[in-house]
Chain A
Amino acid sequence: MFVARSIAADHKDLIHDVSFDFHGRRMATCSSDQSVKVWDKSESGDWHCTASWKTHSGSVWRVTWAHPEFGQVLASCSFDRTAAVWEEIVGESNDKLRGQSHWVKRTTLVDSRTSVTDVKFAPKHMGLMLATCSADGIVRIYEAPDVMNLSQWSLQHEISCKLSCSCISWNPSSSRAHSPMIAVGSDDSSPNAMAKVQIFEYNENTRKYAKAETLMTVTDPVHDIAFAPNLGRSFHILAIATKDVRIFTLKPVRKELTSSGGPTKFEIHIVAQFDNHNSQVWRVSWNITGTVLASSGDDGCVRLWKANYMDNWKCTGILKGNGSPVNGSSQLGNSNPSLSSNIPNLQNSLNGSSAGRYFFPPLDSPRAGSRWSSCAQLLPPPAPLVEHSCDADTANLQYPHPRRGYLSRPLNPLPENEGV
């Protein structure tokens, strides 16, 4: 089962975001105490704070890592109307003895007139780009044309969403069949505000982002939004945290059928909607294969969701931040008895060899008026994609297929990392 380990983060105020780096060996946290902390995982699996510094002059809402090929780079955004880019530098500080690393601010992005609510680096195949969104409803896309020079960022696009924005997510697909795409969620709670999720797509001809879709069914305030890692799929999966958890699929209608030049048309389906949190859902986060979604809510739980081969999504795990077990499969919201037997397996495969793979920040009881009371982040599980060859059950669980039994072996030629 899961083991919850708490880390004394020593932030002086509420933690708003936690973010793992590409390899899952580093972690960054940000807080209303205006600081960001960086944590490194030691060989023994413990997390050590290797940097802590004041980043903004207001609550820091979000912190996020760039792909390591651009260096050790963080971006943060804050209530102080700015976003900032930070780089770790080596050898220029005298803090070596304390095992502390040194982070310097490379740029401050000051274009917003209101609180910057989210910041995200674009997928690495697009180069070094990042997007911010702000409470005044504008999404800004910046680019560092010279990836070696992190202090020069140019504002490439400004997209007006007309609604106060709370969260953004880049579509991670690097397929040439998919244009760059960004989804924006809004937590606007004014009564006349309508659909809260908009999707913008880059148009090669006009060289601009244009609205491709609006998810009309999502009308409640949206707190978080996340595209699933694409992993070769021909379509996109989008998770939304609102008053419940929702999962949408966006299937591009084949290009040759649509008029060329215009925005891609999508077949949009809602494939799952869960109100098991019985409260506001604050964060959604995907595992690295885009097969398991974690959500956190005001009920103080992180819930894991997974689809079977028939694309039926089910709850496959409930985690309490304080480590106490959540009783009963009845709470799993699982009507399918055959699946419930798989749950321990799944959890093992997610859990991997070490209990320290998940980090759940200490959960205070939700405060009135707090924007985020809890967050969840799914780390890339080091367990291989196709579960270990030594465990046929797990492999079947991952890719359950009624008729696969004897064909599955030869297709798994890669020696998996032994012994997990």
Chain B
Amino acid sequence: MSGTKPDILWAPHQVDRFVVCDSELSLYHVESAVNSELKAGSLRLSEDSAATLLSINSDTPYMKCVAWYLNYDPECLLAVGQANGRVVLTSLGQDHNSKFKDLIGKEFVPKHARQCNTLAWNPLDSNWLAAGLDKHRADFSVLIWDICSKYTPDIVPMEKVRLSAGEAETTLLVTKPLYELGQNDACLSLCWLPRDQKLLLAGMHRNLAIFDLRNTSQKMFVNTKAVQGVTVDPYFHDRVASFYEGMVESTRHNWSGLDKQTDIQNLNEERILALQLCGWVKKGTDVDVGPFLNSLVQEGEWERAAAVALFNLDIRRAIQILNEGASSEKGDLNLNVVAMALSGYTDEKNSLWREMCSTLRLQLNNPYLCVMFAFLTSEAGAYDGVLLNKYIEKLTNEMKEAGNLEGILLTGLTKDGVDLMESYVDRTGDVQTASYCMLQGSPLDVLKDERVQYWIENYRNLLDAWRFWHKRAEFDIHRSKLDPSSKPLAQVFVSCNFCGKSISYSCSSVPHQGRGFSQYGVSGSPTKSKVTSCPGCRKPLPRCALCLINMGTPVSSCPGGSKSDEKVDLSKDKKLAQFNNWFTWCHNCRHGGHAGHMLSWFRDHAECPVSACTCKCMQLDTTGNLVPAETVQP
């Protein structure tokens, strides 16, 4: 962007807008323009479209890089990295929203001035902006700014600020970044990992690094020259592409160094999921039970609401809810008593309150009230008593008895879960749900349960009877992924007429290298045989009854992985997809040929194409002529 090479940025949310940045920022709007007349400042893009200049911003000199704010609002906010390392927020919009007015013109200043190479907005926390700078001795080169952070005039010496900027703007300077990374290095490119707010991928000098903001002392890196630009595969987050001087490199990252952190994250996600399933929180990651409490109160579930409030350490709210419950029409006056007891809560270990509560709570009938006192009287960290084992056991048994699928939350995919599912299947005959459910998450010992296997067999039979063969095959594929023991063995081998070995490349060992003779004079490397020859003895395979050419089905897992073979293999993969080339033969008369040729022959003929053979190959199998249900349905 250094004046000579303009850069173009598309707006993240409006497909018809873009910015051209060279010495200034120009915002364009794409319009259809069939007429030949163009407005002043417009660019013709094609025969029927043109870009109209909407606005020009020349507030920020020495631009080195620009990044467009990712949120919808304000939509025309841009971060500009300058030659002196400063990052300036500027806007191209006409609509200066008052809420974001303060942001415009805000500057983020590094300790030492050097060129700013790259900028990246965090996709999850829209206020985070990462800036990559050139190297300056032992200073950091990756700075992460919070654009909403308070200005820090008190930390920065006032005179320095005055030197660097006009008096009116002193309050708009930020000098304290959120994170400083990449000490003693230069940063050329940056990219946030799409799903993780705290992982930043950076193209540093001679390596690609991943910074984990949860633990800034740690970084993982791979040495590569391709650091000029970097981006993450949006569908496969372990794959990263980077480039330098016209070369693109793709890297697969091993995240092992970060496993521990992600585990914690997962645990948290699981907890949130559990809370969601219990209805405590709505979708999203914020754990605010307020609305949930209100809805419980409205439905008159005072005890539950109070317990939830208490678990969120809001004892005052719990007492308030209980009082509300006592005073309401349907409520129980005893709730007042409970509230009173709650208010007497004390942290002392040997208090009378504690003693009374732990004995009397056993007489409470309502599980929520019971669990509240168990929670308050238990030792910190020891929540066994709180878990209401008896109640849960009773509930589990009820669920099992009733075949209520929600009970799986209690039993998990265990033996108990199978019992529950058995009573569900007994009631419904729904082997589909049972099969998928048990297949999905259950460990192998549950899968081995006879009942589970029986459901699966019944389900597969059912699909077969309905001619949902494709679905059944897909189910089998899915199943073999989760339960490798269910994988069927290969059904058919084709063996060579001469040597009797299987002609499948994957089954044969390395071709005979020692015997250099190749009877049928295949030119090229002697270690590679033609697909139309037996990989064992290199004699030709049988001929197609129709085209009279030797058959051969290319197999991609061909042995011999030298570099020169790779390109050949690629073309083979393509061929493998062509069913027309496959071997096919009649089990009755043993005549056969290329699948495509055979199919087209039997479209018009009933008898085998081999002369004097009267076998009616295609009519032998009635089931084979049935059409799968998937293809007949509209």
A interface list, Cβ under 8 A from B? 22-25, 43, 68, 72, 88, 90-91, 96, 174-177, 230-235, 288-291, 309, 311, 353, 380, 382, 384-386, 398-399, 401, 403-404, 407-408, 411-415, 417-420
Contact = CB atoms under 8 A, between A and B. Distances in A.
Interface string B424-449: 01111111111011001000000000
B119 to A, nearest CB: 41
B406 A403 contact: yes
B620 A231 contact: no
Nearest to B607: A91
Interface of B: 404-406, 422, 425-434, 436-437, 440, 450-451, 454-455, 457-459, 462, 465-468, 471, 475, 606, 614-616, 619-620, 622-623, 626-627, 629-630, 632-634
Given A22-B465, A412-B432, A417-B629, 12 more contacts: A23-B626, A90-B622, A174-B454, A234-B451, A380-B465, A382-B629, A386-B432, A403-B406, A407-B406, A414-B475, A417-B468, A419-B634
A43 B632 CA distance: 8
Nearest to A25: B626
B436 A417 contact: no
27 contacts: A68-B623, A72-B622, A91-B614, A91-B615, A91-B616, A231-B462, A232-B431, A232-B458, A232-B459, A233-B425, A233-B426, A234-B425, A234-B426, A234-B451, A288-B466, A290-B429, A380-B465, A382-B466, A385-B432, A401-B405, A403-B406, A404-B406, A407-B406, A411-B405, A411-B437, A412-B433, A415-B471
Contacts of B405: 401, 404, 407-408, 411
A231 B450 CA distance: 14
Contacts of A413: 436, 440
A401 B404 contact: yes
Given A68-B622, A403-B406, A413-B436, A176 B450 contact: yes
Nearest to B457: A174
Contacts of B616: 90-91
A90 B459 CA distance: 32
Nearest to B633: A417
A403 B634 CA distance: 34
Contacts of A177: 450, 454
Ranked nearest first, the 10 interchain pairs of A and B with the lowest CB-CB distance are: A91-B616, A231-B429, A232-B455, A90-B619, A232-B431, A399-B428, A232-B425, A411-B433, A232-B458, A175-B454
Given A43-B632, A414-B471, A289 B462 contact: yes
A413 B434 CA distance: 11
Contacts of A23: 465-467, 623, 626
Contact of B430 (A234, A235, A380, A399): A399
A204 B97 CA distance: 85
Contacts of A235: 426
Contacts of A309: 427-428
A316 to B, nearest CB: 16
A290 B431 CA distance: 12
A90 B623 CA distance: 13
B468 A232 contact: no
Contacts of B429: 231-233, 289-291, 385
Interface majority SS on A: helix, strand, loop or mixed? loop
Contact of B633 (A25, A43, A311, A418): A418
Contacts of A96: 606
Contacts of A311: 427
A22 to B, nearest CB: 6
Given A91-B615, A234-B426, A404-B405, A420 B633 contact: yes
Contacts of A91: 606, 614-616, 619-620
Nearest to B409: A407
A215 B480 CA distance: 44
Contacts of A411: 405, 433, 436-437
Contacts of A417: 468, 471, 629-630, 633
Contacts of A176: 450, 454
A305 to B, nearest CB: 15
B430 A385 contact: yes
A96 B607 CA distance: 12
Contacts of B468: 384, 417
Contacts of B428: 309, 398-399
Contacts of B450: 175-177
Contacts of B629: 382, 417
Contacts of A232: 425, 429, 431, 434, 451, 454-455, 458-459
Nearest to A72: B622
B114 to A, nearest CB: 53
Contact of B432 (A68, A174, A414, A419): A414
A382 B466 CA distance: 5
Contact of A385 (B426, B462, B606, B632): B462
Nearest to B468: A417
Contacts of A231: 425, 429, 431, 458, 462
Nearest to A26: B622
Contact of A419 (B430, B459, B462, B633): B633
A404 B619 CA distance: 48
A399 B430 CA distance: 8
Contacts of B433: 386, 411-412
Nearest to B619: A90
A174 B451 CA distance: 11
A230 B422 CA distance: 13
B633 A353 contact: yes
A399 B431 CA distance: 12
A384 B620 CA distance: 30
A24 B458 CA distance: 17
Given A96-B606, A309-B428, A384 B466 contact: yes
A289 B634 CA distance: 24
Contacts of A419: 633-634
Contacts of A401: 404-405
A394 B629 CA distance: 21
A246 to B, nearest CB: 20
A354 to B, nearest CB: 10
A290 B461 CA distance: 14
A176 B450 CA distance: 8
Nearest to B279: A406
B196 to A, nearest CB: 25
Contacts of B465: 22-24, 288, 380
A22 B471 CA distance: 18
Contacts of B475: 414
Contacts of A404: 404-406
B468 to A, nearest CB: 7
A84 B598 CA distance: 37
Nearest to A124: B461
Nearest to A21: B622
Contacts of A24: 465
A181 to B, nearest CB: 16
Nearest to B429: A231
Contacts of B462: 231, 288-289, 385
